[in-house]
Amino acid sequence: MKKLFLVVTLLVCATLGFSQQDAKAKEILEKVTKTTQSLVSLDAKFSFEMNNKAQNIQDKSSGSIILKGKKYKLNIPQMGLQVTCDGKTIWTYMVNSNEVTIANLDESTDELMDPAKIFTIYERGFNYKFFGESVEGGIPVYNIDLTPQKPSGDIQKIKIMIDKQKMLIRGANMVGKDGNNYTVSVSQFKTDGVYNDSDFVFDPKKYKGIEIVDMR
């Protein structure tokens, strides 16, 4: 589960002030922050891949996420996983075993494990530097490198690609200290969709014979 959220949230972090950072990167990321904060909601489809050459491991999957403030709904069909969060409670449903785990959302949780902060991975705990422009999947993007300010943690380096037109993060590549390299690509954005608060609450009654593990 930790690996899953690390993969998904390569695009994640809290929004704080900018200081002592690359000027060009600062300008771009301020625009990304402004764009993200202006959205009522965000619906995105993404793919991710994990490679570990030393262990000859290559995993590929895809999914979707809907966000509305601190609320979100994450779905990864290939893994049989659905995660629903109303901003206070988080439901993790494993489709294959028909089991849901319910827990309180811990505000102290590492931001790299919180998909609610998706598309703003660049600020807390990172130094960042502008590394030019390129075209990814036919989309012009800005490239910015992130390096952790503290040596502890799982991340060695992250490269993020920002859609020049939409000013949203389009993808990310991460080099992990454990030899795992992750790539996340966003294939589709929909913004300002209308979602009710009830859309972010998991209802066990809809799943016959479901096993409930309540950890609150």
Domain boundaries of the chain, sorted by first residue: 2-193
Say what the pLDDT of residue 5 is: 47
Q: pTM score, two decimals?
A: 0.76
CB atoms within 10 A of CB 137: 11
Dist CA 113 CA 100 (whole Å)? 19
Say what the pLDDT of residue 204 is: 94
pLDDT per residue over 163-196, tens digit each? 999 998 888 888 888 888 888 888 888 888 999 9
Question: In order along the chain (216 residues), what is the average pLDDT of each group of 10 residues?
Answer: 47 40 84 85 86 84 86 89 91 95 71 51 75 91 87 79 90 83 85 92 95 93
Q: Which positions ≥6 away from 6 have C-beta within 8 Å?
A: 112, 113, 154, 176, 182
The strand pairing partners of 99, in sequence order, are 94, 211
Say what the pLDDT of residue 11 is: 45
CB-based burial label for 154 (10 Å; 0-12, 13-18, 19+): middle
Say what the pLDDT of residue 16 is: 34
Say what the pLDDT of residue 207 is: 95
Comparing CA positions, the residue from 172, 195, 209, 208 lying closest to residue 49 is 172
Tokens of 207: 């799943």
Which of helix, strand or coil describes residue 108?
coil
Q: Which residue is it, tokens 């943690």?
A: 153
CA 165 to each of CA 32, 67, 197: distance values in angstroms, whole numbers, following the listed order: 11, 21, 30
Find out whether 149 and 1 touch, Cβ atoms under 8 Å.
no
Say what the pLDDT of residue 9 is: 47
Architecture label for domain 2-193: Clam (2.50)
